Amino acid sequence: MLIESHDPNFVVNNLLLIVMGKLLTPKAAILLRDEKNADMYVASSKGRTGLDTNTRFQCPPDICPIDKPIYEIDEISNIMPEQVQQSGLKLFFTIRTSTEHLGYLCIAPKIGKGEYPAEELNFIENLVIISAVALSNSMLVSRLKAANRELDQKVQELNTLFDISREFNSMVDRSQMLNVFRFTLMGQMFVRRFFFLMRLEGKPQIVTQHGLKGQVSPEVKGDLLNMETEYIEVSQMENPPEFLTQNEIFALVRVSFQDERAVLGISKRANNAAYTQSDYSFLISLGNLAFLSIQKTFLLESRIEKERMEEELTIARTIQNMLFPSPIPKPKPFDIAAINVPSRQVGGDYYDVLCADDKQLYLAIADVTGKGIPASLLMANLQAMLHVLSPLDLDLAATTGKINNIIFKNTPSDKFISFFWGRIELSSMSFEYCNAGHNPPVYWNAGKKKIELLSSGGMLLGALETMMPYESGTIDLHEGDIVIMFTDGISEAMNEDDREFGEERIAELLDEYHDKTAAEIQRIILDEVKAFCKGNYGDDITMLLFKVGPL
Amino acid sequence: MSQFDIYQRQYQSVEILELNGELDAHTAPVLEQHITQLIKNEKYKIVVNFSSLDYISSAGLGVFMAYIEDLRERGGDIKLTNMKENVFNVFDLLGFPTLYDILDEESQAISRFNNPTT
């Protein structure tokens, strides 16, 4: 029976019981060597030896004597610890096979302090020889079983990683993903409490957890993310945060990808089994997988968001285009050209040409500070006002003051509009204008063959409430006269030496090319600007110009 | 995609969940939903019958982990029965027999609920 058993404990226990029963021995124990740890342990102990099963003690393998079948305690006291020497065990039978020294069977003197007769010792010697083979075999079997189980656990870990990565790949929903991660972690590691901390939108946040109580401050979360080792057990930390100790978090595992980091905190296993190096490696792999998959969802979201924004901007651009006059009214004798090129999809520049009752022609140009959507909203606001006001034939300067007050109320203090507008009475060809802080338009006076700048007006719209009334200027238009209105995208276009194109250059071009049509002059100026800044327009570009034809 | 169904029955005060197919990361949320629903309905005595379950992954085990404390605090439990060998092996490998009642037959689990001392 001894020989057939594959259970080392069974062999050990039976050996002891047989010996004690046959020989009337009051106490006995079996000490086994552990080659791997180079020590010895109490495999079993019966009677009052004072030795606890599984107690381990040092036993350097090279000094263990094995030559004799039986040793007295005095002969081997040098390798036996105090506990064994005090145990009352006296005779030590060497348990060995032909290749292996397994340990010792130790017995106390017979009840009544009698000596063991020689034939009894002989019997035990033989019994020990037989048992040694059985013990050796059964120990081999249990080592194989342990190795097998370890292998099964590895396979299970791999299956788990495979299962979860397949699932993550098919998912885009973050909360589902975190849920699957939660179950997988708890199931595989046999834990009931954990948390997963990562930085989201700049803030450290616990993205999923189970069984945790209490709040944790952002500072503590930030500190945890800065942990220096791949993993650490909380008991080894110098001053572990209360959050960890209160929730019985046992270990922290760091996960990192490029500059991003996450931390996984886990409690002890529900059966208190220790974590091995291999468990920590698994946790790092699992954490990495979850971390990357979660980050992927954010990238995906921001891409979707970006696409949505782009689509909206395209629609906004279409709407803004409809706010510009099309076609541009061109009542006789006017030759009019205009262009708007926003530097982004939508812009803050504005021009308009309105013909009221075929009696008056309004021309306007404006530049909202800033670019993009905020500027385009204000531009739309201004456009609406002009379209309502222009048919009413109001006083130009006073109306500018009213517009300023409305813009001032409608806008934050850092948003302004530079604005120029003018009204031509088609019957008299008188051009009244008001310049609210805009780059002065350039006026070519064909009769005098000279350039003038149209600057009468007042300050920018939206900066302050109207205190000083705006002024207006008036010129009488004649055949050949040209007025060019533009925004600072043209006058302030920069070359490589950081020099601006300048209003003077526009005046020079006008001096040279005033015989050309409005469209030609516009083309010439735009080409010059483009060549000057090598196509690097820093701002929205807008120009509106008219030339007076034969009356 | 993995196939997974749950048939739910009641025997006296015990709720019985019969699992069919494969319980993995993909199907674990289905089981979770059943268990949370039972807790919501104040049904805390649950027997899970594994006789028709062919495969279980760690994520499936995690669902039991997530709710066992909750149920026990409310005087209930989850008892697991009728496992195929490959399914039991996963539970065993990961240490679950120390924390869960794993029984051969559904009837044993029910009688344990009715007679907690035996």
- Element housing A485 (H / E): strand A482-486
CB contact under 8 A, A271 and B99: yes
CB contact under 8 A, B25 and A167: yes
Residues present in chain A in total? 551
The CATH number of the domain where B95 resides is what? 3.30.750.24
B24: distance to nearest CA of chain A, Å? 7
Structure tokens at A316: 């906004």
Q: Is A298 on the interface with B (CB under 8 A)?
A: no
Whole-angstrom distance, CA of residue A385 vs CA of residue A392: 12
Predicted pLDDT of residue A203: 87
Is the peptide bond between A333 and the residue preceding it cis, with omega within 30 degrees of 0? yes
Sign of the CA dihedral A106, A112, A115, A117?
A: negative
Whole-angstrom distance, CA of residue B101 vs CA of residue B82: 12
What DSSP character marks residue A390?
G
> In A298-335, which positions are buried (b, 16+ CB within 10 angstroms) versus exposed (e)?
eeeeeeeeeeeeeeebeebbeebeebbbeebebeeebb
- Element housing A512 (H / E): helix A503-513
Cα dist from B65 to A220, A257, A403, B18, whole Å: 28, 29, 69, 18
Mutate to test the interface with B, among A153, A156, A158, A183 (most CBs of B within 10 A): A183
Count how many Cα atoms sit within 13 Å of the Cα of residue A232 in the half-sphere of its side chain.
16
pTM metric for this prediction: 0.64
ipTM: 0.91
Which of B29, B64, B94 minimises the CB distance to A179? Answer: B29
Residues contacting residue A259 through CB under 8 Å, at least 6 positions apart: none
Q: Is A185 on the interface with B (CB under 8 A)?
A: yes
Closest-CA residue of chain B to A183 = B62
Mean predicted lDDT score pLDDT of chain B: 92
Mutate to test the interface with B, among A166, A170, A190 (most CBs of B within 10 A): A190
A444 φ/ψ angles, rounded to the nearest 5 degrees: -95, 110
Closest-CA residue of chain B to A170 = B26
Closest-CA residue of chain A to B31 = A183
Q: Give the orientation angle of helix A277-323 with respect to helix A118-169, to 10 degrees.
A: 10
Count how many Cα atoms sit within 13 Å of the Cα of residue B114 in the half-sphere of its side chain.
11
Whole-angstrom distance, CA of residue A159 vs CA of residue B55: 12
Predicted confidence pLDDT, tens digits, chain A (551 residues):
566 677 888 888 888 888 888 888 889 999 888 877 778 889 998 888 888 888 888 876 666 777 888 888 888 887 888 888 888 888 899 998 888 888 899 998 888 767 888 888 898 888 898 888 888 888 888 889 989 988 999 999 999 999 898 888 888 888 889 999 999 999 999 999 999 999 877 889 999 999 998 888 888 898 899 888 899 999 999 889 999 999 999 999 999 887 888 999 999 999 898 999 999 999 999 999 999 998 888 888 889 999 998 898 888 888 888 899 989 998 889 999 999 988 877 788 999 999 988 899 999 999 998 777 888 888 899 999 999 988 888 899 999 999 999 999 988 888 899 999 999 999 999 999 999 999 999 999 999 999 999 999 999 999 889 889 999 999 999 999 999 999 988 888 888 888 888 888 899 999 899 999 999 999 999 999 888 888 777 788 899 999 999 87
Q: Is the CB of residue A269 less than 8 Å from the CB of residue A301?
A: no
C-beta atoms surrounding B40 within 10 Å: 8
Which of A423, A442, A534, A425 has the alpha carbon at shortest distance from A485?
A442
Domains, chain A: 8-143 (3.30.450.40), 171-299 (3.30.450.40), 324-548 (3.60.40.10)
CA-based radius of gyration for chain B: 13
Whole-angstrom distance, CA of residue A342 vs CA of residue A324: 12
- Tell me the pairing of strands A91-96 and A101-107: antiparallel
Predicted pLDDT of residue A194: 95
Q: Give the orientation angle of helix A174-189 with respect to helix B58-73, to 10 degrees.
A: 80
C-beta atoms surrounding A107 within 10 Å: 26
pLDDT (mean) for B49-69: 94
What DSSP character marks residue A482?
E
Q: Is the pLDDT of residue B118 over 60?
A: no
Sign of the CA dihedral B28, B32, B35, B41?
A: negative
CB contact under 8 A, A187 and B99: no
Whole-angstrom distance, CA of residue A525 vs CA of residue A491: 10
Q: Is the pLDDT of residue B1 over 60?
A: yes
Whole-angstrom distance, CA of residue A142 vs CA of residue A84: 27
Whole-angstrom distance, CA of residue B45 vs CA of residue B55: 24
B90: distance to nearest CA of chain A, Å? 8
Residue numbers of the domain that contains B96: 4-114
- Classify residue A417 by burial, with Cβ atoms within 10 Å: 0-12, 13-18, 19+: buried
CB contact under 8 A, B62 and A271: no
CB contact under 8 A, A271 and B98: yes
Q: Collect all residues of chain B within an 8 Å Cβ-Cβ radius of residue A170.
A: 26
B23: distance to nearest CA of chain A, Å? 11
Which of B25, B32, B95 minimises the CB distance to A184? Answer: B25
Q: Give the orientation angle of helix B85-93 with respect to helix A118-169, to 10 degrees.
A: 100
Which of A199, A154, A155 has the alpha carbon at shortest distance from A298?
A199
Q: E strands along chain B, which residues?
A: 4-11, 14-23, 45-56, 77-81, 101-103
Predicted pLDDT of residue A265: 95
Largest CA distance in chain B: 43
CB contact under 8 A, A211 and B69: yes
- Element housing A422 (H / E): strand A417-425
Whole-angstrom distance, CA of residue A431 vs CA of residue A441: 13
Whole-angstrom distance, CA of residue A463 vs CA of residue A369: 11
CB contact under 8 A, B65 and A191: yes
Which of A502, A500, A523, A521 has the alpha carbon at shortest distance from A510?
A521
Whole-angstrom distance, CA of residue A123 vs CA of residue B41: 70
Chain B, residues 65-104, CB within 8 A of chain A, namely: 65-66, 68-69, 89-90, 93-96, 98-99
Structure tokens at A541: 């570009």
Structural domain tally of chain B?
1
Q: Is A159 on the interface with B (CB under 8 A)?
A: yes
Chain B, residues 1-60, CB within 8 A of chain A, namely: 24-26, 28-29, 32, 57-60
Predicted pLDDT of residue A321: 87
Q: Is the CB of residue B81 less than 8 Å from the CB of residue B48?
A: yes
